[in-house]
Structure 1
Amino acid sequence: MKLDKDTVGKRYSKALFELSVEKKQLEEVNEQLKELKKIFEEIPDLGHMLTDVRLNLDEKKLLMQQLEKPFEGIVRQFIRVVYDYARMDDLLLMIEDFQHLYYEHHGVVYGKVTTVVPLTENQKKKIEMKLAQLLGYKEAKVSCMIDESLIGGMIVEANHHVIDGSVKAKLNKMRSVLQN
């Protein structure tokens, strides 16, 4: 049975997280993963290149040597395991899942706010405070996205909760009520 990307990402990230906690290297591993994430964001096709069967083994080994070079210990071993199991194209998902576990461990909920216009820093902080309070966390961190189709308002997503306060959602709800 083939596993979907979400399941794979969660399994790998959970194993890495638990090992990091056990070895008391959680902060170090998290910092290294942030650097690894930057590399994969700067070279979006890297995971596919290292997984693709069309690239010959010598080329992949050369790429892997360069990729592994700045990392050590648990993170280097993790990269090798992910490579050996041909899951490099899922690495960003694994890192994101690890970061969710990391934040959860520290009492921080991680979420996303989608608005029509960019939020000011003050607006973002107010949303983070309210979200942390609403979900029972010490702190909240949100990333901001822009979606002009919302017309107005915002959508807040965190910890499997979605609060849709967009004008678009309200109009759709009114349309549905009027049609029935």
Structure 2
Amino acid sequence: MKLDKYTVGKRYGKALFELAIEKHEADSIYQDLLKLREIFHEVPDLGDILSDVRLEPYEKDEIMKQLVSGFEGTIENFLYVVYNYSRMNDLLLMIDEYERRYDEHKSLLLGTALTAVPLTKEQHQLMEEKAAKLLGYEQANLINLIDPDIVGGVIIEANYKVIDGSIHKQLERIQELLLK
């Protein structure tokens, strides 16, 4: 049974994270993965090239040697495992899963705060503090997105949860109550 790329990404990312925790290398591996993500964004087809069966193995091996030359230890070994199983085209999903687990381990909440107008620096900081406390995290990093349609208030989306405190939503609730 062939696994879909998201399942593969989750499994490899989880395995790497668990190994990183066991070896007390979570921070350094995270930094290496950020570098890898940047390389894959600069060369978007790199994963496909390294997973392509139409290329000769020696051609892919040469590209792989150049890629891993900037890494050592656990990350170098991980890259060779991923390469040997022809999963380099799923590497970004693996990095995403590692990052999600890393942030959870660090008690860092990542998400968005949707507002009708841009937040001031102080409002943004207060919003992050309240969101972190409300959702049980030590700190939050929320990206402020703007949507005038929400009228006012805020909609926070983080870790598959949505807190809708928008005026638009409150008006919808009032309308529902009045129509009952």
Match of 1:103 in 2: 103
Aligned length: 178
1:92 maps onto 2:116 in alignment: no
Structure of larger gyration radius: 2
How far off is 1:100 after superposition? 1.2
Match of 1:128 in 2: 128
CA contact (8 A) 1:114 1:155 kept: yes
Distance 1:176 1:88 in 2: 50
After TM superposition, the score normalised by the length of structure 1 is 0.79
Q: For residues 137 and 70 of structure 1, do their structure 2 counterparts lie closer, same or farther at Cα, with a shift above 3 Å needed?
A: same
How far off is 1:121 after superposition? 4.4
DSSP-derived class of the 1:110 partner? strand
DSSP-derived class of the 2:2 partner? coil
After TM superposition, the score normalised by the length of structure 2 is 0.79
> Which structure 2 segments of 5+ residues have no match?
none
> Which structure 1 segments of 5+ residues have no match?
none
Distance 2:126 2:79 in 1: 38
Match of 1:55 in 2: 55
DSSP-derived class of the 1:140 partner? strand
Deviations 1:75-116 (A, max 9, x none): 111111111111111111111111111111111122244567
How far off is 1:42 after superposition? 1.6
RMSD of aligned C-alpha atoms? 3.0
* Residue range with higher mean Cα deviation, 98-107 or 48-57: 48-57
Q: For residues 145 and 32 of structure 1, do their structure 2 counterparts lie closer, same or farther at Cα, with a shift above 3 Å needed?
A: farther
How far off is 1:48 after superposition? 1.4
